[in-house]
């Protein structure tokens, strides 16, 4: 109940697929979704494997409440060893693939091995085919999705595909779903490409059983009411994540010109309000979601970018492809966004890497010789667009940038302003105006990620989960709120819930819904503890893969360069202060001074015996 | 005879499938999009085309049925199917210009919108108000692909 009840394993090496039953009892200690997938990754891969080798696996994970009618549960995640960070990666994506996958009868699909020639996987309920994709190889993501739908003559097939970037092993290549939704972060697309797997197409005709329908319906009704009445969600429904652009820049949180500043003078031109006025023509939603935060953007008229169509732009994209590259032309950023989707690049890492290259160019580390005369300066929208193409096809300088900021900076210098954590380029929330976010990035399970904890609100004055108010720029007291959010998010991502609904629906309601769907008897304490268990399990995996304390760190710029403008002008996060935060964090986590979980912590969480 | 039907504002649809969720709940007692009598078909570049029976005045589906399984509801004027009579041959689905007749995923018989006895659940639930239950003098003529092409033309989207 809640679960579809089956796991599918496809070995591309010998073209064999096996269906095994999934017992909800097995999933229960880790809920499902991200948690159970993390354990699958731990158990199905050998330590130290090459993420782009045949031994790596990709796990498509849904949760026990996916494809039910709880609002905002259309999400799923792709779990794999990341070629960008060499550690754990789960990349979440909305759209309609997750629900289709569960309707086809699968909670998990694990893909292993490597095909000799390009293939795509076609799944229609229990009919599983590994089909030739020679004619699809080289096509962009949009064209590949269209070709597959046409081939099977079914518009309702859902397709997860990679573009040329994934084929060319760009380390931050994404997986594209429903044209404009991406499992973007950490390079899942490159892993697919390394397996010669162009796409996974799925169609399901089943349904999900609910354990206690009456109770379930009662809580779903409450969810809908809460969503309708929550005034805070009005802006999300209207402007999507673009609602945060102006506020973020005003608060010094909007990364600008490779994080040199956190206030962007052109923020208003990239805001959701501006998109509503200029480019949006309709709204887009994931399966069963009444929040519908997505928008379809079309560039029309006599613009040189006319004809560009993309879903978005999301806040993160405006921050990384826009402000961080110094570009304030909304139409250009829209076009760049579309190009990233089409060619299969993560807009965040692409923006982060290009911004780093722009700074290198301005500082002379990259010259006209490498760029072939291209003026790779901040604010040059043509250079931004050219570099996206160059990276996706690994042409010229793009070949080096396709390795990501960390590897590129190890090669040519500029490490002190290479804005990444563990190799994953930082997202669009700057640190120096909200130091807690630095701790969240440094300790996130997949590298520089804003979705594991977002403690900025505590720095700005919200009460912490233990009822305290922290001092914004002081290092103390930041560890517990961050840990709390990480734990609860790990559990919610195992359901799999969406960030934009969790605040409104509330954890208690999610637990009630989980219990009604599955017949379990989770309470808040167990739910929290499960999150902590998942977090520690992933830590074990990461340590096994070579993660050390030094990796829980931030780019030098955060410690050395004070913010040049805005309300947090002059602020930086000193290494000493960061050291205090990290020490406190290890302490509240029950980890030793090297960030390794103590035996008693693992014992308490029921993880004793898991080896690093 | 004048008739009412579910009229769709295609530009308003965001593709959320909430109509499908509730249609299948009413008709089948569970969330089961493949068994829904209203279905959304995604078209490049991001258009969502809603397909639901327009209850035509001159319905081609009725004419071609070899077992006379179709009948018009006296109360709502909805064209309905007697599932006892339906043999699942698919002639009706073939004849419908809109493609608004679907096949039940379990028994393979034809299913279509019957307006829920005059209180269509999908209309009530659509979060975008893209569906309206009102009188329409038009028979269905275009298929989803043609509707999408037409929208693209109006939006000046060139592929």
For chain B, positions 54-83, list CB contacts with chain A under 8 A: none
Q: Does residue B157 form part of some domain?
A: no
User: Chain A residue with minimal CA distance to B14?
Assistant: A284
Residue B115 lies in a domain: yes
Q: What is the mean pLDDT of chain B?
A: 95
Q: Are residues A505 and A358 in the same domain?
A: no
**Which pLDDT score, from 0 to 100, does residue A611 have?**
76
What was the pLDDT predicted at A396?
Answer: 97
In this structure, is residue A213 part of a structural domain? no
- Choose among A68, A96, A155: nearest Cβ to B43: A155
Our measurement of the distance from residue A85's CA atom to the centroid of its chain's CA atoms, rounded to an integer in Å, reads: 13
In-domain check, residue A15: yes
Give the DSSP letter of residue A211: S
Structure tokens at A508: 């208690």
User: What is the value of ipTM here, to two decimals?
Assistant: 0.96
- Flag whether A538 is in a domain: yes
- Residue percentage of chain B with pLDDT more than 90: 91
**CATH code assigned at B141:** 3.30.70.20
* pLDDT recorded at residue B115: 97
Torsion of CA A431, A434, A435, A437, to 10 degrees: -70
Task: Based on the fold, state whether residues A342 and A440 are members of the same structural domain.
Answer: no
User: Is residue B158 in some structural domain?
Assistant: no
Q: For residue range A460-488, list pLDDT tens digits in order.
A: 999 999 999 999 999 999 999 999 999 99
**Is B42's CB within 8 Å of A309's CB?**
no
Contact yes or no for B50/B13 (Cβ under 8 A): yes
Name the minimum distance, in Å, from the CA of B67 to any CA of chain A. Answer: 27
- Domain match, A19 and A118 both: yes
Confidence category of residue B1, pLDDT binned at 50, 70, 90? low
Classify residue B42: in a domain, yes or no: yes
Domain-terminating residue out of A391, A425, A459: A425
In angstroms, the CA A500 to CA B48 distance is 23
Contact between A290 and B144 using a beta-carbon 8 Å cutoff: no
Tell me: do A29 and A158 sit in the same domain.
Answer: yes
Domain range enclosing A397: 233-425
DSSP states of A122-138: EEETTEEEEEE-TTTTT
- Among the partner-chain residues B44, B46, B127, the one whose CB lies closest to the CB of A284 is B46
What residues of B are in contact with residue A228 (Cβ under 8 Å)? none
- pLDDT at residue A542, rounded to an integer: 98
Q: What's the CA gap between A246 and A118, in Å, rounded?
A: 44
Nearest to B155 among A67, A298, A311 (CB): A298
Query: Residue A493 maps to which CATH number?
Result: 1.10.599.10
Is A215 part of a structural domain of the chain?
no
The pLDDT tens digits of the residues spanning A301-333 come to 889 999 999 999 999 999 999 999 999 999 999
Domain presence at residue A208: no
Instruction: Please name which of A202, A177, A209 lies closest in space to residue A104, comparing C-alpha atoms.
Output: A202
pLDDT digits (tens, 9 = 90+) for B62-109: 999 999 999 999 999 999 999 999 999 999 999 999 999 999 999 999
pLDDT exceeds 60 at position B159: no
Give me the residues of B, 90-149, that contact A with CB < 8 A.
105, 127-128, 144
- B143: containing domain: 4-152
Chain-chain contact of A289 with B16 (C-beta, under 8 angstroms)? yes
Residues A263 and A387 in one domain: yes
Note whether residue A430 is domain-resident: no
- Indicate yes or no: CB of A288 within 8 angstroms of CB of B17: yes
The number of distinct structural domains making up chain A is 3
Residues A148 and A283 in one domain: no
Under an 8 A CB cutoff, do B105 and A205 touch?
yes
- Closest chain B C-alpha to A610 CA, distance in angstroms: 39
What whole-number distance in Å separates Cα of residue A471 and Cα of residue A450? 21
Q: Is B77 domain-assigned?
A: yes
Query: Percent of chain B beyond pLDDT 70?
Result: 98
Q: CATH number of the domain at A325, please.
A: 1.10.569.10
Q: Are residues A182 and A113 in the same domain?
A: yes
Closest chain A CA to residue B36: A205
| pLDDT < 70 regions, chain A | none
Interfacial residues of A (vs B; Cβ cutoff 8 Å): 67-69, 96, 99, 103, 142, 146, 155-156, 178-180, 204-210, 281-290, 292, 294, 296, 298, 300, 307, 309, 311
Give the CATH number, domain containing residue A150: 3.60.9.10
Contact A69 B155 (CB under 8 A): no
Taking CB atoms and an 8 Å limit, are B44 and A155 in contact across chains? Answer: no
| H or E stretch covering B135 | strand B131-135
pLDDT at B3 exceeding the cut of 90 = no
Residue B78 counted as domain residue: yes
B159 within a domain of the structure (yes/no) = no
Q: Which chain B residues contact residue A282 at CB under 8 A?
A: 11-14
Give contacts of A287 with chain B, Cβ < 8 Å.
Answer: 16-17
The number of distinct structural domains making up chain B is 1
Q: Is A216 domain-assigned?
A: no
Residue after which a domain boundary falls, among A378, A395, A425: A425
Q: Are residues A129 and A247 in the same domain?
A: no
Q: Is residue A10 located within the same domain as residue A113?
A: yes
Residue A536, H or E segment = helix A524-544
Say yes or no: A419 and A439 in one domain: no
Asked whether residue A264 falls in the same domain as residue A182, the answer is: no
Pair A383, A524 in one domain:
no
End residue of a domain, out of A425, A453, A469:
A425
Give the C-alpha separation, A179 to A262, whole Å.
31
Residue of A nearest to B144 (CA): A155
Of A69, A179, A204, the CB nearest to B46: A179
């Amino acid at each position: 109940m809640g679960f579809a009840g089956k796991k599918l394993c496809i070995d591309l090496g010998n073209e064999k697929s096996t269906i095994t039953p999934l017992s909800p009892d097995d999933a229960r200690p880790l809920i499902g979704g991200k948690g159970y997938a993390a354990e699958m990754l731990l158990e199905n891969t050998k330590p130290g494997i090459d993420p782009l080798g045949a031994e790596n696996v990709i796990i498509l994970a849904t949760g026990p409440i996916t494809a039910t009618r709880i609002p905002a549960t259309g999400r799923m995640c792709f779990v794999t060893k990341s070629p960008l960070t060499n550690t754990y990666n789960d990349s979440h994506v909305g759209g309609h693939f997750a629900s289709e996958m569960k309707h086809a009868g699968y909670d998990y699909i694990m893909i292993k091995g490597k095909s000799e020639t390009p293939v795509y996987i076609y799944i229609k309920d229990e009919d599983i085919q590994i089909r030739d994709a020679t004619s699809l190889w080289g096509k962009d993501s949009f064209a590949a999705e269209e070709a597959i739908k046409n081939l099977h003559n079914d518009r309702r097939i859902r397709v997860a595909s990679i573009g040329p970037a994934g084929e060319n092993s760009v380390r931050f290549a994404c997986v594209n779903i429903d044209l404009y939704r991406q499992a973007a972060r950490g390079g899942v697309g490159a892993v697919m490409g390394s397996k010669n797997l162009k796409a996974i197409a799925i169609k399901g005709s089943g349904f999900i059983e609910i354990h206690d329908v009456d109770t379930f319906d009662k809580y779903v009704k409450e969810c809908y009411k809460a969503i309708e009445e929550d005034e805070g969600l009005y802006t999300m429904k209207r402007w999507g994540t673009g609602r945060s652009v102006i506020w973020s820049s005003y608060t010094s949180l909007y990364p600008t010109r490779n994080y040199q500043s956190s206030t962007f003078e052109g923020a208003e031109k990239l805001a959701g309000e501006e998109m509503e006025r200029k480019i949006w023509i309709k709204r887009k939603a994931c399966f069963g979601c009444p929040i519908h935060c997505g928008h379809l953007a079309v560039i029309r008229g006599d613009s040189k970018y006319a004809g560009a169509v993309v879903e978005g732009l999301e806040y993160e994209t405006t921050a990384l492809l826009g402000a961080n590259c110094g570009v304030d032309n909304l139409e250009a950023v829209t076009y760049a966004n579309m190009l990233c989707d089409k060619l299969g690049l993560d807009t965040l890492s692409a923006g982060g890497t290009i911004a780093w290259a722009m700074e290198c160019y301005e500082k002379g580390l990259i010259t006209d010789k490498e760029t072939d005369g291209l003026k790779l300066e901040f604010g040059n929208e043509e250079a931004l667009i050219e570099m996206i193409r160059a990276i996706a096809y690994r042409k010229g300088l793009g070949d080096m940038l396709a390795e990501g900021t960390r590897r590129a900076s190890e090669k040519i210098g500029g490490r002190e302003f290479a804005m990444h954590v563990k190799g994953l380029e930082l997202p669009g929330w700057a640190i120096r105006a909200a130091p807690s976010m630095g701790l969240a990035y440094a300790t996130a399970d997949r590298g520089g990620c804003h979705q594991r904890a977002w403690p900025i609100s505590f720095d700005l004055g919200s009460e912490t989960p233990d009822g305290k108010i922290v001092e914004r720029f002081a290092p103390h007291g930041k560890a517990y709120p961050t840990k709390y959010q990480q734990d609860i998010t790990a559990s919610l991502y195992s359901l799999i819930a969406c960030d934009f609904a969790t605040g409104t629906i509330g954890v208690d309601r999610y637990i009630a819904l989980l219990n009604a769907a599955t017949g379990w008897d989770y309470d808040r304490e167990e739910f929290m503890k499960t999150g902590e268990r998942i977090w520690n399990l992933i830590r074990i995996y990461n340590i096994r893969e070579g993660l050390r304390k030094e990796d829980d760190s931030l780019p030098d710029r955060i410690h050395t360069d004070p913010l040049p403008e805005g309300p947090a002008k002059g602020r930086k996060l000193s290494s000493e202060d960061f050291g205090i935060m990290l020490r406190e964090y290890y302490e509240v986590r029950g980890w030793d001074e090297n960030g390794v979980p103590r035996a008693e912590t693992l014992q308490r969480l029921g993880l004793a015996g898991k080896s690093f | 005879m004048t008739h009412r039907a579910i009229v769709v504002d295609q530009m308003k649809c965001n593709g959320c499938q909430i109509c499908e969720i509730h249609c299948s709940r009413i008709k089948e007692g569970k969330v089961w999009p493949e068994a829904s009598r209203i279905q959304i078909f995604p078209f490049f570049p991001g258009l969502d085309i809603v397909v639901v029976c327009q209850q035509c005045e001159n319905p081609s589906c009725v004419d071609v049925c070899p077992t006379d399984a179709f009948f018009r509801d006296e109360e709502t004027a909805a064209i309905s199917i007697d599932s006892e009579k339906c043999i699942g041959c698919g002639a009706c689905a073939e004849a419908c210009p809109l493609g608004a007749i679907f096949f039940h995923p379990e028994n393979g018989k034809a299913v279509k919108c019957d307006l829920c006895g005059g209180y269509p659940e999908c209309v009530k639930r659509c979060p975008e108000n893209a569906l309206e239950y009102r009188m329409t003098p038009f028979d269905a003529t275009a298929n989803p692909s043609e509707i999408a092409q037409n929208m693209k033309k109006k939006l000046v989207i060139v592929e």
